[in-house]
Amino acid sequence: MNKPNQGEDIILRVHGEIIAALLHPSSPDGKALRLAFGPRVLFRLKDGIAAEERERRIPEESDKVAQYFDAAGGYTTTSWDSSRDSGEKAAEQTVEALTTIRKMIGDKKQIICTFWVANQPEERKPGPAEYPTADQIRMICEAAFRLGIRHLDMYGCRIGDYVIRREDMAQRVPPAPAPYKLTDQFSQKFLWDRPQIHEELAEYLRSLNPK
């Protein structure tokens, strides 16, 4: 797919919409899914692509909205693999996102750079995640710093499983108004549970203190 992040952000968005529809069978999408699951998913995917295209456009009056805030947030998700330029691609995506936001809000506002520090393609694979490495996280940080960013937010430190199997629905989704039950944590996929990169990443982050 010729989209940023190989279209994974679109897939995640549509995935969430489908899950929401399954949890609310009386909704229009919920009813449609019971009649024709495949066509409805395809329809939502096309709708997700169109929505992503709309959001990539710079609003004409974004500067008027930004004037009421001290800072704006820039959020990116990406995926990594064993290719040698995987880290460079993630850094380039960060530059693209931050440059777009800078055009939207002008030069005087600060930007908080939020980026996902987990590798979605590895979430369901057995064993600990291999990516991102501490060096790949560093490359995103450095790309942001070169653009004058001074506020970084590494998102996805600890995440609970967001997928519910059909056989678990009755247990996980009690009748209203009872609260949803907590899901289990992903194991060794997110930053809090990847000790193999903690020391190297901590050393890099501490080196930033004098800057």
User: What counts of helices (H) and strands (E) characterise the chain?
Assistant: 8, 3
Instruction: Give pLDDT, residue 40.
Output: 47
Are both 139 and 183 inside the same structural domain? yes
Q: How far apart are CA 189 and CA 129, in angstroms?
A: 5
Question: Across residues 42-57, what is the average pLDDT?
Answer: 55
User: Of 34, 57, 80, which one is at a domain's C-terminal end?
Assistant: 57
C-alpha angle 192-195-200 in degrees, rounded to nearest 5 = 105
Per the structure, the complete domain to which residue 174 belongs is given by 62-207
Looking at the chain, list the stretches that DSSP marks H as alpha helix, in order from N- to C-terminal side. 8-23, 28-35, 37-56, 62-66, 86-105, 134-146, 169-172, 195-207
Type of residue at 143? A
Strand order across the 151-155 sheet: 71-76, 110-116, 151-155
Question: Across residues 57-69, what is the average pLDDT?
Answer: 61
Lowest average pLDDT, out of 63-67, 90-94, 127-131, goes to 63-67
Higher local confidence (pLDDT), 73 or 8:
73
Higher local confidence (pLDDT), 160 or 3:
160
Total domain count, the chain:
2
Are both 84 and 140 inside the same structural domain? yes
Are both 119 and 173 inside the same structural domain? yes
Are both 140 and 76 inside the same structural domain? yes
Are both 137 and 196 inside the same structural domain? yes
User: Of 9, 31, 57, which one is at a domain's C-terminal end?
Assistant: 57
Higher local confidence (pLDDT), 76 or 202:
202
User: Of 10, 31, 57, which one is at a domain's C-terminal end?
Assistant: 57
What percent of the chain is predicted at pLDDT more than 90? 28
